[in-house]
Amino acid sequence: MNRRSALGVMGAVPLAAGGLLAAPGTAVAAGRSGRIPAGLKPGGEFDRFVRQQAAKDQFSGTVLLVNRGRTVLSRSYGMADKERSIRNGPDTIFSLGSITKVFTGVAIAQLAEAGKIAYDGRLGAYLDGFPAEIAENVTVHQLLTHTSGMGDYRQDVPDYRKAEAAWTSAEEVMDGTMAFIRTTKPHYTPGTSHLYSNSAYVTLGAIVAKVSGMSYFDYVRRYIFRAAGMNASGFSTRPQWQNDRRIARPYTTTPSGQRENQVGERAFIGLPDGGAFATAPDLRRFTDALNGYKLVGRTYTELITSPKVPGGTLPAKDGKPAKSHFDGYGPDSTFVGGHRFLGHNGGSPGVDANWYVYPHSGWTTVILCNYDAQTSAPIESLLEELILAQDA
Interatomic CA distance for residues 36 and 40, integer angstroms: 7
Q: Is the pLDDT of residue 32 over 70?
A: no
What distance in Å separates the CA atoms of residue 47 and residue 75, rounded to the nearest whole number? 8
Of 76, 84, 63, nearest in space to 244 by CA:
84
**What pLDDT, on the 0 to 100 scale, is given for residue 35?**
86
Q: Which of 357, 354, 295, 308 is nearest to 26 (CA)?
A: 357
Q: Looking at the domain covering 91-356+365-375, what would its CATH class be?
A: alpha beta
Using alpha carbons, select from 80, 31, 70, 64 the residue that is nearest to residue 380.
64
pLDDT interval class at 21 (50, 70, 90): low
> Residue 2 pLDDT > 90, yes or no?
no
User: How confident is the model over 233-242, as a mean pLDDT?
Assistant: 97
Q: The pTM is what?
A: 0.92
Return d(Cα 343, Cα 287) in angstroms, integer: 10
- The whole-angstrom separation of Cα 196 and Cα 6 is 8
In angstroms, rounded to a whole number, what is the distance separating the alpha carbons of residues 224 and 79? 29
User: Average pLDDT, stretch 181-207?
Assistant: 97
Lowest mean pLDDT among 230-234, 298-302, 315-319: 315-319
CA-CA distance, 131 to 184, in Å (whole number)?
9
**What is the mean predicted confidence (pLDDT) over 246-260?**
96
Residue 314 backbone zone (phi > 0: left; psi -120 to 50: alpha; other: beta): beta
Q: What is the pLDDT of residue 12?
A: 35
Q: What local confidence, expressed as pLDDT, does residue 392 receive?
A: 63
pLDDT digits (tens, 9 = 90+) for 81-90: 999 999 999 9
Single-letter residue type at 185: K
pLDDT in tens, 313-362: 888 888 788 999 999 999 999 999 889 999 999 999 999 999 999 999 99
Average pLDDT in the 175-192 region? 96
Section 123-149 average pLDDT: 97
